[in-house]
Structure 1
């Protein structure tokens, strides 16, 4: 039953505001009886008081973000009441002071004592306070706040992005902070305009008072035959009462506007903030002394000033006593109350973490430019483009358990890299033997295993002249991170990343996405294929081409392993372009026919085995391939190991464990039009005569 009422209640609540605005328009046009005016004036005062209380209790301006709109509606409501009361005063004012309702009569008789001359001056004073002091000051504060908030908007957005890239906040928190910054800018911009409503309302109050007085005198003397004195006493008193009953709520709203725009963000409300900041003994002691001195001067009201001095002195004494009690009170220890444990204490949602020793904290210190954070952001963008999916956040945190200069890189919960870095020093790298000896700390480069030396920054020029490549500590750490993330991209790709790629595919190629998932492939199968491709350094940049191959292969009903091999054959040109340019021949290392036959027999004997080769055979294969590729890698030449489609998965797994940068292809992955240059044949007998003249052949025997 309650569930059925809920939509009706929501619809009714949503229609209240439009109906109320229409009623305001009706109130301006249609004559209303005096008791309706009384209800409206009381409601106006109640709304103004409520707005003032909410403004005073707001901890920060955005806690009352609806204030500009509320101010507009309250001003419209008051102006509608002014129009309706003006009509009643001018039409029925000759009947007496009660003709316009009891509220106007009360304000006209009780507050100004029945003397309309006094009422005019009281109204003038209220107008000066409201228009010249409060409204003008609040408008100026709103204008300046809006200007500075808009000027600071780009910097705040950049700070949020920096915290997000540093892993200090999660994407959801970053989204909330961006929305809060945008709302803050909109709020102060709206308050700048809303202050004009308050100023216009005050001016309108003066004009309405003049209209009521002039119109009342004319109507009273001409239409109703009243004397000029009687007409002035009746209509002017009604006009003053009407003006005051409207200006009191206007003054309250002006105070609320001034309070909200001058508010400073604080966890306390305005009363608590003022009380906490006035609770200082050092502030009250001089007040008590000065008041006491004034109270002792001749001609001064001694009793009043000395009483005030005693109150200030008592306040100072109480504050000092309270501070002494708080300092001497022992801290309550509850040994039996265990600390609260949350999921954040036992889990980490960020898959990439860099832990720093205390001496490396300056690499992320914003006061020193945070050089490491900029490099991490650049690495995330570059690798996201290269791999074809958005890399997760990299969290950087300190770890006091690490030595001062030690850092550790953790990916998917596993510490994959750990080394030392020295801020303020440079790492000099040598591609081979050290060209010239240079003083420093001998180490191995953490990324490539090259011989290196940590040297002082002052020796940069000497190291460059000596033939070294020189990099700073943030670059060393960032390069290490880049290599580890590239080698372990498959650990960072999960179902959520697969769904993100699929969502992007739906946006640009909806028919292809519909033919791919959830039928014939589930999201888990799609993710498994992508992970297998990433494990062999095949990026997902051309996800459309990969998924088109999967859709084409769907009728064959392959398992994941077979599907991956078939997809590789379909996207062979994509794989080759990452190895060698399109116009150049593909340098390859192949296996001898006898070795190919031996490998195929081993795989046939254990078709489902992850490692089908005998340990000794596997060792000799790795040793021979390593010997063949070593000079190619030292010369920075691109190449690939090519074998039969049956042997390719097992050979790839075997070599990947020892030579992760070596690509293993099958014959079917190389297009027929692609030229091939055989660099070495593993397992055969050297036979240069049998090789084509354009090919350089080096062989290794098993």
Structure 2
């Protein structure tokens, strides 16, 4: 009783094990057993029959698939079926040489049937039929299928970068989610792997065909030697027995090989549609009654020629006429895989809809046709182009304090092949070019020895740079150059453009998204701010002003508290609210722009400062316009001071009166984007000494 219960428990556990897991190892054990162990003729009959059934199943499965990826196991099945046939050849050769002298049934009924019934017991006919089958398999089907698989693999691999870019563009546009994008990328990878595997797997079938010929020759020669010298048979008797058995063995192996080769051809030659092979063939061969009618007429004319088999030709002519008449009266309902554009009338064209309106992307990258190669998937995720773009957005989000818009990447065939440009809301902000496959050696100090390569100005910071080959990397590093990979240039350029133009990227939608995010952490502050204190428009303008002056907005708690505190007095004055927020963020601002213990800044001359204060006081109603001569003088003096700061490696900071800072920011930052303007009140709490390196208008 205990034994029965334990056996029942074992069976229950076995049910939990998927039998598919054991199928592969079990098949390998069978193949190895056939190669090593002698098999009885009955077992050999079973295995040959199984081989034939397996080949038929493989062919039918390949015909009923509607997409190549539905049968991704085909290459490995092709390998195992080839090994199975070769193992059967080894097992049958052993039996033929051991027992072939005993008669045609010595190697089993299957081999005897193929050797006698299919070729009439005539070994000469058998050899001819076998050789023809091998030639058809080797020279026609396998060679053609292998070539198609090779070309298909090449085209699939060449098209991968474009497909990957389309997926990332859809993902960045929000048309698909991460899961859907992963599935589509996996499908592309599987398709490339499949055609690559098919290219290699077709070599197995070709090798199998060659092995079939060699095995046949070895069996005949070996059989004659064994029959004549070991069993003292006459030459004619030995030739009859061993040759017939060898031919039967060859045919019973080559017919399944031919069937599987056909399945291989079907898999690689099909065009992926929603139809299987039979539906495609019937639907596209017999869908036009005119073609069938003309074919019947041509066949009828041939049938009337004297000496031709008139009855047979006219019989088929009648059948084609009947089929044409049926098709004319009952048009086929097969789904066409290719649209017939010739039948489309102008009246069928749809009118324009809102779907035809193309909105400008907030942030976009356009690539020349040759630059598609730099965005292809890389085995190392860190080197992948889109991974770097995503990292740029994450880095900028952490540095600025809000999430930049999605980056849309697309081809632009109007650009030069190696050019790219970066756009914000359809307006070009940055442009450059990339030498694909080369590396950019950057002289960040403009003091290093030149390299023997193409010299350019680096597009982000305008440093002297050289496009170098991989062989010059070590030499450039020894000289002190920074080396940038080709697919890192655009992400680096994009990073700087986002940081410099963050105010342009921060729209009302981003303002609302920022508030929604902050509401998770400071719900009471957000509730008190909007709409109780200020509206979304004023909040948007304040944050935009801060970003325009390159002030990070990460400390949203302080920003919201300041706005709530001062909204009663300056509810609709976004500029004043911005100045008040800056005063509260002064330590963050100082930390951002000054690394040293001493604050080295550009100062404003007392006389010029007085003139500017009087100018802005007179234009308090909004016309804050500086007299042109004074404006040009101011810009020239300031440019000289900025150049001096750059030469001394000091921060480009202009220190002015608090009453002037707001007005000068609006004027000067449009000319000097790298300039930071601070007021004396913003440095009031700092303990660091302030040193004025240059004075404008002294």
User: Could you say which TM-score interval applies, normalised by the shorter chain?
Assistant: 0.5 to 0.7
From 20, 23, 34, the counterpart of 2:27: 20
User: What's 2:444 paired with?
Assistant: none
Normalized against structure 1, the TM-score is what? 0.56
**Residue 75 of structure 1: how far off its partner (Å):** 0.3
Measured against aligned partners, the alpha-carbon deviations of 1:599-635 in whole angstroms (never above 9, x if no partner) come to xxxxxxxxxxxxxxxxxxxxxxxxxx99983454334
**Residue 172 of structure 1: how far off its partner (Å):** 2.4
Instruction: State how far apart, in whole Å, the 2-side matches of 1:628 and 1:213 are.
Output: 102
From 120, 125, 130, the counterpart of 2:127: 120
Measured against aligned partners, the alpha-carbon deviations of 1:452-508 in whole angstroms (never above 9, x if no partner) come to xxxxxxxxxxxxxxxxxxxxxxx9xx989943349826716978xx9xxxxxxxxxx
Quick check: 1:116–1:233 contact (8 Å CA) kept in 2? Answer: yes
Quick check: 2:396–2:404 contact (8 Å CA) kept in 1? Answer: no
Instruction: State how far apart, in whole Å, the 2-side matches of 1:65 and 1:325 are.
Output: 30
Instruction: State how far apart, in whole Å, the 2-side matches of 1:81 and 1:115 are.
Output: 23
Quick check: 1:579–1:639 contact (8 Å CA) kept in 2? Answer: no
Instruction: State whether structure 2 residue 202 is matched by structure 1 residue 195.
Output: yes
Quick check: 1:379–1:482 contact (8 Å CA) kept in 2? Answer: no
Instruction: State whether structure 2 residue 397 is matched by structure 1 residue 387.
Output: yes
User: What's 1:45 paired with?
Assistant: 52
From 687, 691, 697, the counterpart of 1:672: 687
Instruction: State whether structure 2 residue 75 is matched by structure 1 residue 64.
Output: no
**Residue 45 of structure 1: how far off its partner (Å):** 0.7
From 293, 303, 306, the counterpart of 1:298: 306
**Residue 287 of structure 1: how far off its partner (Å):** 0.7
From 248, 254, 257, the counterpart of 1:247: 254
**Residue 5 of structure 1: how far off its partner (Å):** 5.3
User: What's 2:483 paired with?
Assistant: none
**Residue 317 of structure 1: how far off its partner (Å):** 2.1
From 271, 287, 297, the counterpart of 2:295: 287
Instruction: State whether structure 2 residue 268 is matched by structure 1 residue 258.
Output: no
From 207, 217, 224, the counterpart of 1:217: 224
Instruction: State whether structure 2 residue 87 is matched by structure 1 residue 80.
Output: yes
Quick check: 1:51–1:253 contact (8 Å CA) kept in 2? Answer: yes
- Greater displacement, 264-273 / 16-25: 16-25
Instruction: State how far apart, in whole Å, the 2-side matches of 1:527 and 1:94 are.
Output: 96
SS of 1:17's equivalent in the other structure is helix
Quick check: 1:145–1:188 contact (8 Å CA) kept in 2? Answer: yes
Measured against aligned partners, the alpha-carbon deviations of 1:333-356 in whole angstroms (never above 9, x if no partner) come to xxxxxxxxxxxxxxxxxxxxxx97
Structure 1 residues without counterparts, runs of 5 or longer: 327-354, 397-419, 424-474, 499-522, 540-545, 551-557, 588-624, 644-664, 678-693, 697-702
Instruction: State whether structure 2 residue 331 is matched by structure 1 residue 323.
Output: yes
Instruction: State how far apart, in whole Å, the 2-side matches of 1:105 and 1:324 are.
Output: 47
Measured against aligned partners, the alpha-carbon deviations of 1:277-320 in whole angstroms (never above 9, x if no partner) come to 12122322211221222223333333222221222222222222
From 475, 494, 506, the counterpart of 1:484: 506
Instruction: State how far apart, in whole Å, the 1-side matches of 2:57 and 2:20 are.
Output: 20
User: What's 2:238 paired with?
Assistant: 231
Quick check: 2:300–2:313 contact (8 Å CA) kept in 1? Answer: yes
**Residue 524 of structure 1: how far off its partner (Å):** 5.8
**Residue 536 of structure 1: how far off its partner (Å):** 5.8
Q: 1:66 to 1:580 in 2, by over 3 A?
A: same
Structure 2 residues without counterparts, runs of 5 or longer: 1-7, 335-352, 373-385, 410-424, 429-496, 530-538, 548-553, 566-581, 604-657, 670-674
Normalized against structure 2, the TM-score is what? 0.56
**Residue 210 of structure 1: how far off its partner (Å):** 1.1
Q: 1:359 to 1:186 in 2, by over 3 A?
A: closer
SS of 1:100's equivalent in the other structure is coil
**Residue 44 of structure 1: how far off its partner (Å):** 0.6
User: What's 1:97 paired with?
Assistant: 104
Measured against aligned partners, the alpha-carbon deviations of 1:365-408 in whole angstroms (never above 9, x if no partner) come to x9x9999xx9xx99988655422276564799xxxxxxxxxxxx
